[in-house]
């Protein structure tokens, strides 16, 4: 057994056993979805005539329902989910970077909660890294304001229409977006009990 938990041959840059878990992107799920997921899909399809073209795929995976929405339809879908399906709360906006997903490298994941019906679903939108623009959802769910700022700061996704899209974690003059997988590790040497620990990108070769 080599590597943490037996992982071998990875490109992991953590320096801790070279552990890498491959990301699996599940395909479209087939009906019946189970649980209340069929009701949500049916209600949205009835309320939104462009459902078939706006929703790229519906995925049920590990007990969660995810609607993959085209970015140009995001606000329309969000308004229907809020006003007609009673998903009153946006629980956050998270970025994900898939460098191998050409033309769709950046994903935004938006979990929603219906307090009326005690239901949870997720929206997922993908954009190319060369054109990382998404419409802001602040006018739909005001609480997504700082979540969108954090996703912009860490991943570089630009939320068009956001009232103040500035960095929230890094300094205003910071270059780049630290949670992109191609972001350089950087770091500074650290002295520890008379020894010097080099920064991560100088510890060993990661080719």
> Would 131 be classed as within a structural domain?
yes
Higher pLDDT, 138 or 23: 138
> Would 201 be classed as within a structural domain?
no
Residue % of the chain over a pLDDT of 90: 70
pLDDT tens string 48-73: 999 999 999 999 999 999 999 999 99
Average pLDDT, the chain: 88
> Would 123 be classed as within a structural domain?
yes
pTM of the model: 0.82
pLDDT tens string 159-177: 999 999 999 999 999 999 9
Number of domains in the chain: 1
> Would 15 be classed as within a structural domain?
no
Contact 179, 167 (CB under 8 A): no
Res 176: pLDDT: 92
Res 56: pLDDT: 95
> Would 13 be classed as within a structural domain?
no
Domain hosting 113: range is 27-181
> Would 75 be classed as within a structural domain?
yes
Q: What is the CATH number of the domain that holds 119?
A: 3.30.460.80
Mean pLDDT of 133-138: 98
């Amino acid at each position: 057994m080599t590597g943490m938990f037996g992982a071998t041959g990875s490109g992991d840059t953590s320096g801790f056993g070279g552990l890498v878990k491959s990301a699996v992107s599940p395909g479209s799920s087939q009906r019946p979805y189970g649980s209340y997921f069929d009701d949500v899909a049916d209600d949205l399809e009835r309320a939104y005539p462009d459902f078939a073209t706006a929703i790229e795929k519906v995925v049920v995976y590990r007990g969660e329902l995810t609607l993959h929405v085209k970015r140009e339809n995001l606000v329309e879908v969000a308004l229907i989910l809020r006003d007609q399906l009673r998903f009153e709360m946006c629980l956050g906006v998270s970025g994900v970077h898939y460098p191998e997903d050409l033309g769709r490298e950046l994903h935004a994941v938006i979990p929603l909660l219906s307090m009326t019906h005690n239901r949870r679903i997720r929206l997922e939108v993908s954009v190319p890294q060369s054109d990382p623009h998404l419409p802001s959802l602040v006018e739909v769910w005001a609480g997504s304001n700082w979540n969108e700022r954090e996703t912009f700061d860490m991943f570089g996704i630009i939320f068009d229409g956001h009232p103040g899209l500035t960095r929230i974690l890094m300094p205003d003059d910071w270059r780049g977006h630290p949670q992109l997988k191609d972001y350089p590790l950087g770091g500074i040497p650290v002295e520890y009990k008379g020894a010097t620990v080099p920064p991560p990108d100088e510890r060993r070769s990661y080719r």
